[in-house]
Chain A
Amino acid sequence: MSSTGRHIIATRLMEMTGLDMIQFGFVDFSECFEGPICLDSGDRLWDFGDTAGYLWFIESGFGFDRMLLEDGKRMLNGMIEPGIFVCDEQQLIFGVPSVSQAIVNTPTIAYRISCDRWFEFLNENQGMAGVIHNINAHFIQMRKARLLKMKHMEKRAYWDYIKDRFPGVEQFCTQTEIAHYFGVSKSTMHRIMKEA
C-alpha cells in the first residue's frame, strides 16, 4: 500500500467521522488495503456469483452497481463515485457469493480489502469497530430515506432527483434496470423519461 493511498483512505474516514485518524485506527486500517488498482472503463469491481469478496474504496472514477433480484431481473442499485466504500453487502455479511455487480464507466483508481480481513481487523480493533457501528447507525437512516423516496415520491420528481444524483445514469444503465429501481414497467419508465 503506497503512503499516498494510505493517507487518502485515512483522511476520508476522518472527514466522514470527524475523529482522529491515529487514535481510532484509521491509518492502521488503511494499511490493510491493496492498491492503487487502476481500472479502465467497462471493468468490473465485482460480478454476480464472485466468491472472493472485497470492500472497495474509490479514489477517482465513476460507475454503477446492479442487484440481481430473486426473479432474475437486474435492478440499478447505486452509483460508484470518488470517496465512497462499496461492496456486495450479502458477501460482506454472510461470506456467500455476490448477488450484485459493479462496473466502472470511466478510468478509475481504487483500493480494496478482502471482506474476511475487514472483519478480522474490526474484531481486533475496538476503536474502529465502534466507529463502524456508529457509521451504520447513520447509514440506516439514509437507507430509510431512500426506501421512502422509492415508494412514495412522485415518480417524475424522483427521476429528476436521480438524474441529478447519478449523472449519466441513462447512458450507462438500461431502461429496464432503471424501471425496476422505480418499481414501474419499462413503458411507464419510458414515458417518465420522455416527459421529464
Chain B
Amino acid sequence: MTQLPDTHLAFLNKLRQLTARRCPDMPENARLFNYVQKVTIDASFCASLTVNGDSGIFFVLNGMVGTYHEFEGKERLSHVYDRRDIFYSNEVLPELNKQNTTWKALGGSEVLFFNLGDKNLQAAFPKWSREIQMFISLYSTYQYQGYINAMGLDRKAYSIQWLRNHPNALSVIPRSDLADMLGISKTSLKSFIKTVLYE
C-alpha cells in the first residue's frame, strides 16, 4: 500500500472537513492525492488559471501568501494566507481581475494545488468535482466577508490578536504593508508589536 504524504493528507482532510455538509461524497484521500501537486504561485502560474479551465484550491504548507490589489494607483496588501489555510483561484483569474490582484509568496512559502480543471479528475468523479467547484467558489467569496467583518472590529484589539495569531508575520511582511493591511498607522503598529512581544 502506498503511503500518502502527510502534507497531502493534511490538505485533503481539511478540505473534507470544510465541505462535509454540502459535498458529503468526497472520494477517499488515496483516490485524490495524485491530483494534488506542489506549485510556485508566480505570475506565469496565475496567468494560466481560467474560470472554466485550470482552476483550483490552494493550501499553504509553509510560509505565507500575501494577496495584493491595486487601488488608486497603489499596490495594497489586503490579507494573507498562513500555514494550513485554503484559498481559491477565483481571486486572481486574469480574465476578471479588475483590481490586478496578485499573490506573493512570503517567507519562502510552499503551496499545494488541487487542479479542479483536470479532465481526468472530472471524468473520474463528475458529480463531486462539480459540487466542490461550486462550493469552493462560494467559500472564496465568503472569505472576503470575513475580511470585511474584520474592518468593523476595534482596530487595537483586532491588530494585537492578529499579531498573536500570526507570529511569523513580522519576519516576512514589510511593516508598511502590515500597517496598511490592519488599517492602522505605522506608529500604532509599532506600539502593538511591543505589546505582543513584551507581554
The residue in chain A whose Cβ has the minimal distance to the Cβ of B93 is A137
User: How many B residues touch A, CB cutoff 8 Å?
Assistant: 43
Residues of A within 8 A of B180 (CB): 151
Using an 8 Å CB-CB cutoff, how does the interface string of A84-122 with B read, 1 for contact, 0 for none? 000001101111000000000000000000000001001
Note all chain A residues with C-beta closer than 8 A to B149. Answer: 67, 69-70, 75
Inside 8 A of A136's CB, which chain B residues have their CB? 90, 134, 137-138, 140-141
Do A133 and B137 have beta carbons less than 8 Å apart? yes
Does chain B have a CB within 8 A of A147? yes
Distance in Å: Cβ of B82 to nearest Cβ of chain A: 18
B152 and A183 within 8 A (CB): yes
List chain A residues, Cβ under 8 A from B90: 136-137, 140
In the complex, what's the smallest C-beta–C-beta distance from B188 to chain A, in angstroms? Answer: 13
A contact patch SS: helix
CA distance A136 to B22 in the complex (A): 17
Interface residues of B (CB under 8 A from A): 21-22, 51-52, 69, 71-72, 74, 76, 78, 90-91, 93, 96-99, 101, 127, 130-131, 133-135, 137-142, 144-145, 147-149, 151-155, 157, 180, 183
The 19 sampled A-B contact pairs (Cβ below 8 Å) are A67-B152, A93-B138, A93-B142, A94-B22, A126-B130, A133-B134, A136-B90, A136-B134, A137-B96, A139-B141, A140-B140, A141-B96, A143-B148, A146-B144, A147-B78, A147-B148, A147-B151, A148-B76, A183-B152
